[in-house]
Amino acid sequence: MNRKNVMWMLSATLGATAFVSCGSPSAQPSAQETGVISSTRNDTSAPLSSFQGQTSAGSSVRATSNLSPSVKGRGSSQAGRIGVQALPSPNLPQQAPAATRSFDGMTNEDNRKTIGGRVLPPDTVGDVGYNYYVQAVNEVVGVFDKTSGARVMGPVSLDSFWSGFGPECRQGSGDPIVLFDHLANRFLITQMRFPILDGNAPEDPAGNGDEIGPGEDNEGGDSSRPPISRDAGEGAAVKAGDEAYECVAVSATADPRGAYYRYAFKIADDQENDYPKLGVWPDGYYMTFNMFGEEGYEGIKVAAAERSRMLSGQPARLVLQDIPADNGDGSFNFSAVPTDLDGDSPPPGTANTIVMLADRDFHGFSTDSLRLWDFKVNWANPRASKLQNPRSVAVAPLDGNLCDFERQCIPQAQTSNKLDPSVGRIMLEAQYRKFQGHGSLVLNHTVDATGNNLAGVRWYELRAPGSSTNWSVYQQGTFVDAGLHTWMASIGMNKLGEIGMGYSTSSTSTLPAIAYTFRNATDPLGRLDTGRTLITSTKPQYIGLQGDYAATASRWGDYSALSVDPSDDCTFWYTNEYYGDDSPVTNLGAAGTYNIGWKTRIGSFRSPNCH
């Protein structure tokens, strides 16, 4: 979720974990209450390339909270559910197409050289334009020539990029997002900013600027309802008067190395806007956030920014709606995503569909489903905008409980440290595409594929007739690559209706790898090709520290990103993290060793059928 957890501050492991219940329904704004604000500040930056080489002063003493779900005592019916686990489906015998590009992206060494320390997790994200691939991680951004794979700009510190703008976006809190607006030939780079930025974790005695947080503790909690855990630096908590911002930059031209129109949008007072997700839509840039306050988790905030004005650098408005945390029946709403457009635009006025996983194990719903809302924004009269038509779309039964919701779940070779499966949420992104006669929406999340704690990816294609939002499941499947734990996926669809999906794999005998799969539009429903590996780690991620520096390196991700090349509307591009031979292991003598020297990979693939 959120970043950064600076200077490697194990974003999942910073400080003690406290468990708090969801806020009561009465404490939440009505889902029909519409807020409208103007951008707090906006300007035009210097060229992004001009920030290269600048360092971020003070980075090594910053800390952020990590706000994430941990469901305990739900009483998962894991064993009883095995009989109704209709999936996984066997993979198709053919293998996914060979990669057409594969090159390294940003690394944690880029962080060390730029901000003076390393961070965990990377929050790897990127998108492809007509000439360039732009990638961001916690805390840096880079630009790559998509033909040669050469890095043509970067690393640029995200904090340096926002320097001179104003206090609202100084020292961002991570969770970067990169999107390409193919309708306008522009790039978006965003990060959240909330005020928990005190240096709370001790720096490692090796003097690397890496901040080492104490071990995570996922025990405890009120068993009568799903608690939300706060993994934060000691003393890091929301306070009255705190302000949460989303910092959004839109490239002024098609060249991502040039100037950007920068915006600060105030998302809330007295809250934090964790785990932002964004989508490009013809009438706006749509966003979702998990909101945390003094009493803990307080629900989902949905927003739409005024795209038409942002494309020309003018002050812009933001329309906001709230989805309460608590449904009043023992279930709760957590971690929705907006729809992101690929291909042709739907008709003007088409609502953006907001999607949330609503399963029995994690969210406490009575059945496994996807929960949907239509967010219809009216820029002529913004207060008339509505988040409406809440409904559920039934899906095949699933087991949402991996490792009893512990983050330390997925094994790796060569270490006892286990990785976070990131359950309970739709992964980046929910991709929409309009075809003649119907619209398609593809999305995915992590499940227990077998009932025996084997991570798999549940994926869906929803369809709606015409340009409506009357969604139903067209196909679904649970994908496991060669019996390995399969998770941290991102999915998309090209102009032929072919599906590409990238993901991570790992096991007790294999190191984490980046892989991908594919589906021809004519393949049997619910089935994907046998996966193909893009690159395999040569070292594990681990922290083997003792005493005051004991910690676990469970955080992996928190997301990866797959996108479709706008040049041909065929080729899939994917980025994720891995560990290489040159990932540095830090030896602290009697205190132990750790390796958080992650690298990232960027690759592409396409079928021969798409031209």
Q: What are the boundaries of each domain within the chain?
A: 17-118+142-605
Q: How many helices (H) and strands (E) does the chain have?
A: 4, 38
Question: For every residue of 285-313, which 3-state class applies, written as one string?
Answer: EEEEEEEEECCEEEEEEEEEECHHHHCCC
Q: Is 140 exposed, middle or buried (0-12, 13-18, 19+ CB in 10 A)?
A: buried
Q: Rounded to the nearest 10 degrees, how much is the dihedral formed by the CA atoms of 509, 511, 512, 515? A: -80
DSSP string spanning 88-151?
PPPPEEEEPPPEEEEEEEEEHHHHHHHHSS--S----EEEE-SSEEEEEETTEEEEEETTT--E
Whether the CB-CB separation of 445 and 362 falls below 8 Å is answered with no
How far apart are alpha carbons 247 and 39 in whole angstroms?
A: 10
| DSSP E strands, 217-283 | 228-231, 243-251, 260-269, 272-281
Q: Is the dihedral of CA 458, 136, 355, 335 positive or negative?
A: positive
Those residues of the chain that have pLDDT short of 50 are 1-31, 57-66, 69-87, 197-206, 211-236
Whether the CB-CB separation of 429 and 342 falls below 8 Å is answered with no
How far apart are alpha carbons 267 and 276 in whole angstroms?
A: 11
How many Å is the Cα radius of gyration of the chain? 22
- The pLDDT, as a whole number, for residue 262 is 98
Whether the CB-CB separation of 149 and 166 falls below 8 Å is answered with no
- The pLDDT, as a whole number, for residue 92 is 80
How far apart are alpha carbons 84 and 571 in whole angstroms?
A: 36
- The pLDDT, as a whole number, for residue 124 is 97
How far apart are alpha carbons 328 and 42 in whole angstroms?
A: 40
C-beta neighbour count of 90 within 10 angstroms:
10
- The pLDDT, as a whole number, for residue 22 is 37
Best CA proximity match to 60, nearest among 231, 236, 210 = 210
- The pLDDT, as a whole number, for residue 294 is 86
How far apart are alpha carbons 422 and 121 in whole angstroms?
A: 12
- The pLDDT, as a whole number, for residue 517 is 98
Q: Is 116 exposed, middle or buried (0-12, 13-18, 19+ CB in 10 A)?
A: buried
Best CA proximity match to 144, nearest among 172, 194, 180 = 180
Whether the CB-CB separation of 210 and 203 falls below 8 Å is answered with yes
Please tell me whether residue 366 adopts helix, strand or coil conformation: coil
- The pLDDT, as a whole number, for residue 408 is 92
